[in-house]
Amino acid sequence: MKQYKVAVLGATGAVGREMIKILEERNFPISELIPLASARSAGSTLSFRGENVTVREVTPDSFAGVDIVLGAAPNKLAQEYAPHIVAAGAVFVDNSSAFRMNKDVPLVVPEINPEDALKHNGIISNPNCSTIISLVAVHAINKLSPIKTMIASTYQAVSGAGAGGVTELEEEVNAITEGKSFEPSVFPYQIAFNLIPQIGGFDENGYTSEEMKMQNEGRKILHLPELLVGCTCVRVPVYRSHSISITLNTEAPISVEEAKAAIASAAGCRLVDNPEAKEYPMPLDTSDQDLVYVGRIRKDIVSENGITLWCCGDQVRKGAATNAIQIAELLIK
């Protein structure tokens, strides 16, 4: 089997570390792993296949001879180094939002539109984490009848804001328990025992940037240019795994039984839907694995062709790192 030289841009962050972990888990055929990060992290080591690999400072010359670059860096760094990656002949699978809506850059969820990955010009974008989890959950229904509209509410774990989000929640819980004061820095307000109904900046219509990703990215991934999505994104005091409530309307009516059967056999999904036994998706059950759990499937009582469901998925893995590596796997098949 051919072996590939793989670089991870942003290797020391939460998603970068998860990428390296999953490359090992999935036995990706790697001849050399090159962890890249800022000068501050250069010289530190990361474990890969039982050995310590030294993190290198990223420069424009870091990509010579590299086959695939997995991006786990912020937009600014992705935009800065993308031209150098492409010029070196590597394929850049980027987890930032920098290129997602570029018409020349595929936006890929391998369970949904794998063929799009092969239409790249050197860059392939990984979608937003909530978008990935939601669309994996509803794709089987969309194949039965095209989705016209979706109303979604996301309940997003603090780790979606990076490792600092987890630390802040832990420190706030400890401070409150001990009667001490604290000052939030990652989130605009206390997140412990609280909900914050804002992720991203607001636009002129009152929606946040995070909320609009569901519609804009969903149209591109599902190849549904007229799809309409109303979304509310909420940060919740959960460490890991995002949860999403979705009511969708399809062109033709679909029964609950048809929806359940389709989801049960869909790639990337696990049907967990037995309300009588109190069995339904929850963040604790979906953390540190790659399936999207789907349950609470029922007919919407407001719209004629509506189906309502609840889904959960690990946003660090399937919502980011694993999805990127699945895209890389498509490239080497």
| Residues in CB range of 69: below 8 A, 6 or more apart | 6, 7, 8, 9, 63, 85, 90, 91, 92, 93
Q: Could you confirm whether 242 is annotated as catalytic? A: yes
Give just the sign of the alpha carbon dihedral 321, 326, 328, 329: positive
Q: Could you confirm whether 231 is annotated as catalytic? A: no
- Is residue 294 packed enough to be buried (19+ CB in 10 Å), middle (13-18) or exposed (0-12)? buried
Q: Give the whole-angstrom CA distance, residue 222 versus residue 160.
A: 24
Q: Give the whole-angstrom CA distance, residue 3 versus residue 36.
A: 19
DSSP symbols for 252-271? S---HHHHHHHHHTSTTEEE
Active-site residue identified among 129, 269, 311, 312: 129
Closest to 66 measured CA to CA, from 47, 81, 50: 81
State the chain's maximal CA–CA distance in angstroms: 60
Instruction: Phi first, then psi: give them for residue 117, nearest 5 degrees.
Output: -65, -25
A 10 A CB-CB count for 26 gives: 14
Instruction: Phi first, then psi: give them for residue 120, nearest 5 degrees.
Output: -85, 160
Joined tokens for residue 183: 């000052």
Instruction: Phi first, then psi: give them for residue 27, nearest 5 degrees.
Output: 55, 50
Measured between alpha carbons, how far is residue 271 from residues 41, 68, 86, 265, 309 in Å? 41, 34, 40, 9, 11
What Rg, from alpha-carbon coordinates, does the chain have? Answer: 20
Alpha helices in 145-227 (DSSP H): 163-178, 209-222
N- to C-terminal Cα separation, the chain:
11
3-state secondary structure of 175: helix
Active-site residue identified among 84, 233, 242, 311: 242
Catalytically active residues are 129, 242
